[in-house]
Amino acid sequence: MNAITDVAGVAVGQVTLIEDLANGHKVRTGVTAILPRGHASYELPAFGAWFALNGNGEMTGTAWLEESGQLEGPVMLTNTHSVGVVRDAVIAERVRAGGADASGYWWSLPVVAETWDGELNDINGFHVHPEDAARALHEAKGGPVAEGNVGGGTGMICHEFKCGIGTASRRVRVGARDYTIGVLVQANYGLRDSLRIAGVPVGQYLRDDRIYSAPNPAAGDTGSIIIVVATDAPLLPQQLKRIAKRAGMGLARMGSYAGNGSGDIFVAFSTANAEALRDQPLQQASFIGNDHLDGLFEATAQAAEEAIVNAMVAARDMQGDGGHYARAIPHAALVKLLKRFNRYRPPH
């Protein structure tokens, strides 16, 4: 499916909130939930790691993720001012799921990440509610993943084109076995000039509707991106940290330089070694040797790059709060440019 859900067991749920309010404000936001082990994610953690290429953003739960090397529960994506309500909702859902610990409470530090959709969304209206996060969790499933103006990506913009949620995957052979790398992005970063697709300097040619840099040519890099990397390859937390870092290379291929105003934060997890993560005094885990990781590194960079392109291509024009407008990248003009630079291959 060319999606993060190609990693067996991974489930994605999305709630999209689009509404024109009576007071003139417009809601263009939502929530995306990624469950590493589907609905068993509350009961069994996964080895994981995170990396901030530039930290002008928020991803909760990372101190314990760094300390323990374990991702406990889902990864949630939403807008900047809804991180708190989504975090609290995840804890409430875990409590409702049953079976508190011996103290009578679940101890939970959820991973919730954000990008800012205030150009198109009435972000200070606080329109994401606990039930929205709960629904994203309950409706999470495997299979195809909707892209573009959906979930946490509903109001997002990248390279001054309408953007949002995107996903892609790669299959990698290591030794005698095949493994899958899946990536999901919430893309909301970058100015037009730096945009590159398949190596083509697209941003130098598609110059219309530059919502930040046209009125202010001195505008600096803005926005953020969250990248979630999933794999079924058996990797230890320090190896997953290395995988998370490689997501930034896919971002760089798109023309990003991770400017001061951009929050570029990545998280990676492995669904392997499930038995080693059950509560036992002594555990054994398998892992791929460091000298055999290059294919996974390359796959991560490729899938991250394509996931961003997919988010941009799947998005559609959107008018939002305050009359602000974001145009989707024009497909015909993009194909024409790719052909001009001999980078186009027809779909198959």
Q: Which amino acids are annotated catalytic?
A: 224, 262, 264
DSSP 296: H
CB atoms inside a 10 Å sphere around CB 348: 3
**CB distance 302 to 170 below 8 Å:** yes
How far is residue 10's CA from residue 7's CA, in Å, rounded to a whole number?
6
How far is residue 247's CA from residue 264's CA, in Å, rounded to a whole number?
10
How far is residue 285's CA from residue 342's CA, in Å, rounded to a whole number?
46
348 to 68, 144, 308: CA distances (angstroms): 43, 18, 20
Q: At what angle do helices 130-138 and 83-96 cross, to 10 degrees?
A: 60
Q: Which two tokens stand for residue 126?
A: 């606080």
Vertex 230 angle, CA 228 and 232, to 5°: 175
How far is residue 258's CA from residue 254's CA, in Å, rounded to a whole number?
11
Of the candidates 290, 155, 163, 189, the one whose C-alpha atom is nearest the C-alpha of residue 233 is 290
How far is residue 181's CA from residue 103's CA, in Å, rounded to a whole number?
38
DSSP assignment of 56-90 equals SS-BTTHHHHHHH-EE-S-EEEEEGGGHHHHHHHH
99: Cβ–Cβ under 8 A, 6 or more apart, which residues?
A: none
**CB distance 81 to 270 below 8 Å:** no
How far is residue 279's CA from residue 296's CA, in Å, rounded to a whole number?
29
